Chain A
Amino acid sequence: MIGRDLLGIEDFDRADLERILETAAHMQEVGLREVKRVPTLRGRTIINLFFESSTRTRTSFEIAGKRLSADVINFSAESSSLSKSESILDTARTLDAMAPDAVIVRHKVAGVPKRIADALDAPVINAGDGAHEHPTQALLDLFTVLQEKGRIDGLTVAIVGDITHSRVARSNIYGFTKLGADVRVAGPPTLLPPAVESLGVKAFTSLREAIEGADVVMALRIQSERLQGAYVPSVREYSAMWGLDRAKLRYAREDAIVMHPGPINRGVEIAHDLADRRPSVILEQVRNGVAVRMAVLYLLAGRAQAGQEGAR
């Protein structure tokens, strides 16, 4: 059962995920129309509450909200009085007084969206919290794979890179395993959580072994500060061992697709020519982000009137 909030894929079961993905397929049709707008959320207010800047994700939610005719308000930490001294709950209460229909939260610390959700009446959508979860990214990745492969059940998905600090990795691990894929994670041991196999995946410290026979190879973004000696010795060594290129991709299935949540460090996680062309589906991921976020907003912010007005 989809609850009030969308905090993490961990909370969802298979049926929930399938329902969101089905809804996203309907929403995608809206994006193909000449007038890319439906009145579903007219009169509803959605707040984009970003404590950590992310133009891409914020814009994607904003477009999704606007296509559903909602009023979208951007409330970013940089442009407000928010500071350490103002507690999380104070912020949440201030927002709640504005009676929003959904609050989209991005924060650099894991758990903040949950704390806000606990204090708010409005549904909270996690747009990425620390190294915890980034559920809408996983949903758009699932959606993309479903479109490319026609199924998720039985696929082998390899997630490569900085698993420890990646919310995208965690959400995708939950999403793909719940939908029946075989998930592998791979990276230098300094960037693999010691207990990662407790999440139901197999961990590898060899890229070749990890992508052997994979249907999907997902490279993760690595923060530049992790490449300066504390976790891996250098950018050069990282990209030599873990950067995806066409030569290394040979070990995957012939029809394997390559994904990346963006923004890409070109030449580090993924080679130039691989990033821009098939089998890379990076632009499809971005495009599908809007449809998936429309689906999420429709299911959560549109709850009170769901069933009265369809999305079509």
Chain B
Amino acid sequence: MSRVWIAGGRVLDPASGIDRVADVVIEDGRIGAVGSGVEVSGAEKVDATGCWVTPGFVDLHAHLREPGQEYKEDIASGGRSAVAGGFTLVCCMANTQPVNDDPAVTDYILDRARNDSPARVLPIAAATKGLEGKIMTEMAALQRAGAVAFSDDGHTIMDGAVMRRVLEYARMIGAPVSVHAEDRHLVGQGVVNEGPASTRLGLPGNPAAAETVLVARDLLLAELTGAHLHVGHVSTAGAVDLIRAARERGVHVTAEVTPHHLALTEDATLGYDTNTKMAPPLRSKADVEACRRALAEGVIDAIATDHAPHAPHEKDVEFTAAPPGVLGFETAYAVVMDLVRAGEISPIELVARLSTGPARVFRQPYGSLAKGAVADVAILDPDREWLYDPLKGYSKSHNSPWAGGTLRGRPVVTLVGGRIVYDVERGVVAP
């Protein structure tokens, strides 16, 4: 019987409400006990003094780029980057090449993940074939193959009738539909938030209404169909208000927000750094504040990274030509710890949004430190300061607005299924 003894950490388990200094004992890949004075003979000891001990983080939105764009990232490198950020489960988007709209692609991703990724990987399959927004995928077959949700992500389904049918069909099989809610016509050529920043930069603006208009449509369609709508990377105060109101009238809606939309405003784009180009774009201060409040209140269930690796030669171009997106895994914890330090959210609530919350959204049996739970665990040093150098990270790409910056808060040990897969001193140690 293999045993790991995590000693002396501040155990934060949102599922059970535990927040106290205690030992965690893991036996054969599952949580054995949480407490003090537990029997720990023959265990591998991990000293967690001064650290948080939490369920491993669950990411509902990441781009692992495999198959097809392995020069940006692959499942192995993405998985290593994930565990270095405390993530033990990553749900990957379908915009691979070929698109994950066929069970064979889903199988391939799961197979590669089993063999090469230290983090668990579960695919989100396309909602429509080829992400074209026209013909539904074989959702039931994809679900049997292992898809946990359906999404066309950035290839937003603009035809409301198609969206309605996708929601109806997904409801039948009990799967969530995750959306990148931006009206493509309103976005137009927009590359930064429409407002003072776009005016000063002279770059085409993307109005907040591009998001709110489509969130409104999708909420109404979720209400019409009774389906589970998951709103990806919420970025505007208007979308937050719509989601809050829909929840209050009983619409089955969940939502996520990214670390960058919680931490950065449109002002970050003022230097034309293409590592500040995201979709949706970085928004106004009022939008950021609304997202932070919604996260604290639980109107937003999850922090999702939207980890989007792009190669240097792709980002090193004109702002308008650069692909949107930034790396997310390794900086997420430090970036969102700012909300705790600012007193806007309690540690246990923050941990809930990173683990228990997202696990519930996609109905996955993770995000808990209860006895018998799968031992996916993150050990986090909330005060550790470190210099973030993407070249020393695990992603194949380096596109981060935090590159070269000093961050505070860092995952120090990550366990998946009771096995230590990452240790800040030794790096990724498995597989």
**A interface residues, Cβ below 8 angstroms from B:** 10, 84, 87-89, 107, 109-112, 114-115, 129-133, 167, 170, 193-196, 198-199
5 cross-chain pairs, A with B, having the tightest CB-CB distances, nearest first: A111-B272, A132-B202, A131-B202, A109-B318, A110-B202
Cα A107 to Cα B200 in complex, Å, equals 17
Flag the segment in B36-44, B138-146, B190-198, B245-253 that touches A. B190-198
Select one of A88, A115, A129, A193 contacting B198, CB under 8 A: A193
Contact B316 A89 (CB under 8 A): yes
Contact A198 B318 (CB under 8 A): no
Cα A219 to Cα B196 in complex, Å, equals 23
Contact B196 A130 (CB under 8 A): no
Contact A88 B317 (CB under 8 A): yes
Q: Which residues of B contact A115 (CB under 8 A)?
A: 272, 318
Q: Which residues of B contact A107 (CB under 8 A)?
A: 318
Contact A193 B205 (CB under 8 A): yes
Contact B316 A87 (CB under 8 A): yes
Q: Is the interface of B mostly helix, strand, loop or mixed?
A: loop
Select from chain B the residue with minimum beta-carbon distance to A192: B199
B18 at interface, CB cutoff 8 A: no
B271 at interface, CB cutoff 8 A: yes
Contact A111 B199 (CB under 8 A): no
Contact B202 A129 (CB under 8 A): yes
A108 → chain B, closest Cβ, in Å?
8
B104 at interface, CB cutoff 8 A: no
Contact B199 A87 (CB under 8 A): no
Q: For the A-B complex with A112-B318, A114-B271, A131-B202 known, give 9 more contacts whose Cβ atoms are closer than 8 Å.
A: A87-B316, A110-B201, A111-B272, A114-B272, A130-B320, A131-B203, A170-B202, A193-B198, A195-B198
List which B282-341 residues lie within 8 A (CB) of chain A: 313, 316-321
Contact A109 B316 (CB under 8 A): no
Can you offer 8 A-B residue contacts whose CB atoms are under 8 A? A89-B316, A109-B318, A111-B318, A111-B319, A194-B205, A195-B196, A195-B198, A198-B195
A87 with B313, Cβ < 8 A, contacts A109-B321, A111-B272 known: yes
Q: Which residues of B contact A132 (CB under 8 A)?
A: 201-203
Contact B199 A198 (CB under 8 A): yes
Cα A194 to Cα B320 in complex, Å, equals 20
Select from chain A the residue with minimum beta-carbon distance to B312: A87
B326 → chain A, closest Cβ, in Å?
17
Cα A196 to Cα B195 in complex, Å, equals 8
Contact B199 A199 (CB under 8 A): yes
Contact B317 A87 (CB under 8 A): yes
Select one of B195, B207, B272 contacting A110, CB under 8 A: B272
Cα A132 to Cα B204 in complex, Å, equals 10
Select one of A88, A109, A114 contacting B320, CB under 8 A: A109
A195 with B195, Cβ < 8 A, contacts A109-B319, A111-B272 known: yes
Select from chain B the residue with minimum beta-carbon distance to A198: B196
Total residue contacts A-B, CB cutoff 8 A: 65
Q: Which residues of B contact A130 (CB under 8 A)?
A: 202-203, 320
Select from chain A the residue with minimum beta-carbon distance to B284: A195
Contact B313 A111 (CB under 8 A): no
A199 with B200, Cβ < 8 A, contacts A87-B317, A109-B319, A114-B271 known: yes
Contact B203 A110 (CB under 8 A): yes
Select one of A88, A111, A199 contacting B203, CB under 8 A: A111
Select from chain B the residue with minimum beta-carbon distance to A134: B202
A178 → chain B, closest Cβ, in Å?
14
B310 → chain A, closest Cβ, in Å?
13
Cα A76 to Cα B271 in complex, Å, equals 25
B334 → chain A, closest Cβ, in Å?
26
Cα A133 to Cα B203 in complex, Å, equals 11
Contact A111 B196 (CB under 8 A): no
Select from chain A the residue with minimum beta-carbon distance to B272: A111
Q: Which residues of B contact A114 (CB under 8 A)?
A: 271-272
Q: Which residues of A contact B317 (CB under 8 A)?
A: 84, 87-88
B210 → chain A, closest Cβ, in Å?
13
A15 → chain B, closest Cβ, in Å?
22
Name the residue among B196, B200, B205 with the largest chain A CB count within 10 angstroms.
B200
Select from chain A the residue with minimum beta-carbon distance to B319: A111
Cα A88 to Cα B322 in complex, Å, equals 12
B139 → chain A, closest Cβ, in Å?
38
Select from chain A the residue with minimum beta-carbon distance to B269: A111
Contact A194 B195 (CB under 8 A): yes
Select from chain A the residue with minimum beta-carbon distance to B271: A114
Cα A268 to Cα B196 in complex, Å, equals 29
Q: Which residues of B contact A10 (CB under 8 A)?
A: 200
A256 → chain B, closest Cβ, in Å?
27
A109 → chain B, closest Cβ, in Å?
4
Cα A110 to Cα B198 in complex, Å, equals 10
B309 → chain A, closest Cβ, in Å?
17
Cα A130 to Cα B318 in complex, Å, equals 11
Select from chain B the residue with minimum beta-carbon distance to A87: B316
A167 with B196, Cβ < 8 A, contacts A109-B319, A111-B272 known: no
Contact B194 A194 (CB under 8 A): yes
Q: Which residues of B contact A89 (CB under 8 A)?
A: 316
Cα A107 to Cα B199 in complex, Å, equals 18
Cα A89 to Cα B313 in complex, Å, equals 9
Contact A193 B318 (CB under 8 A): no
Select from chain A the residue with minimum beta-carbon distance to B313: A87
Q: Which residues of B contact A84 (CB under 8 A)?
A: 317, 321
B190 → chain A, closest Cβ, in Å?
12
Q: Which residues of B contact A131 (CB under 8 A)?
A: 202-203
Contact A110 B319 (CB under 8 A): yes
Q: Which residues of B contact A170 (CB under 8 A)?
A: 199-200, 202
Select from chain A the residue with minimum beta-carbon distance to B316: A87
Cα A290 to Cα B313 in complex, Å, equals 38
Select from chain B the residue with minimum beta-carbon distance to A110: B202
Cα A10 to Cα B199 in complex, Å, equals 12
Cα A115 to Cα B275 in complex, Å, equals 13
A94 → chain B, closest Cβ, in Å?
14
Q: Which residues of B contact A167 (CB under 8 A)?
A: 202
B58 → chain A, closest Cβ, in Å?
36
Select one of A88, A109, A133, A193 contacting B199, CB under 8 A: A193
Cα A195 to Cα B272 in complex, Å, equals 19
Cα A112 to Cα B201 in complex, Å, equals 11
B203 → chain A, closest Cβ, in Å?
5
Contact B318 A88 (CB under 8 A): yes
Cα A129 to Cα B200 in complex, Å, equals 12
Select from chain B the residue with minimum beta-carbon distance to A119: B316
Cα A170 to Cα B316 in complex, Å, equals 26
Contact B201 A88 (CB under 8 A): no
